[in-house]
Amino acid sequence: MSSIVLEDKDRQVQNHAVIILASGLSQRLGQPKQLLVKNGELLIVHMIRSAVSTNAQAVIVVIPDKHPAVASVVTELAVQYPAVQAVVNPKPETGMADSLRLGIESIAGLGNSSIERVLIMGVDQVLLDQSHLMALLAGEQSVVASSYHSWTYSDELSATEPKNIIGLPLVIDTGLLRQWQTELTGDKGLRHLIRALPPSQIHTVINKQLSYDIDTPAQLAFAQKKGWLDQHSERI
């Protein structure tokens, strides 16, 4: 498995689609993380615009059922950006695998044989930027994934040794993703499948800022204190 430190990439890649996994119910956080605000912009809007900026042929945004505020935001962006398409997950409580399967099926339904790779993103890595996405897309292996440490505490110093994560966002060959589609279950994403690949098929892009995702009120408070997120979120 090879690794590189994140660098700016200006190369434009157009043989890919994007799946944004945004159907989580944010139960631990207590409010929809999609509607948190970053620099005056909803977090889900920030992520969709980042995805669009990679010149993707399609941006599939998987959202939860019965969340009209989230659906309204994505629908509005789909008018502005024709590549954007909302896909509703009717059972978001079943975990990430169902959302990922819906995204894969939506890409397959486009019937576009020129989509050779898929960029898969979450919605709550608040320091994710476009340059990291382009660095992932510049890799040529079957899987090009992000590498960072876990973040379990609300302060900067963890009481335990942080765990290294190989995960989202990541880029994967379309054929391999479809091959794995039937093996996706529950809250298991692609991580266990990626680990089973030969090292020669995996490339990682190191970006320690991706450790900071938002799952709990303590993490949200820390991100707001740092200025990564605004103090007020969009309420529904």
CB-hemisphere CA count at 13 Å for 49? Answer: 11
Q: Are 181 and 101 in contact (CB under 8 A)?
A: yes
Q: Is the pTM of this model over 0.85?
A: yes
The terminus-to-terminus CA distance of the chain in angstroms comes to: 44
Give residue-wise pLDDT tens across range 151-188: 755 455 444 556 788 889 999 999 999 988 888 876 66
Q: Is the pLDDT of residue 101 over 80?
A: yes
Give the alpha-carbon dihedral of 208, 210, 216, 218, to 10 degrees: 40
Q: Which two tokens stand for residue 122?
A: 């979450």
Pinpoint the alpha helices (H) of the chain. Answer: 43-52, 68-80, 96-109, 130-138, 174-180, 191-195, 217-226
Distance CA 144, CA 130 (A): 15
Look at phi and psi of residue 180 and say left if phi exceeds 0, alpha if psi is from -120 to 50, else beta: alpha
- 50-54, 174-178, 194-198: least confident range: 194-198
- CATH assignment of 2-226? 3.90.550.10
List the chain domain ranges: 2-226
Q: Could you tell me the CA-to-CA distances from 50 to 54, 95, 107, 131 in Å, in that order?
A: 7, 24, 19, 9
To the nearest 10 degrees (0 to 180), the angle between helices 68-80 and 43-52 is 30
Say which DSSP state 178 is in: H
Q: Is the pLDDT of residue 41 over 60?
A: yes
- 8-17, 49-58, 79-88: least confident range: 8-17
- 10-14, 15-19, 148-152, 220-224: least confident range: 10-14
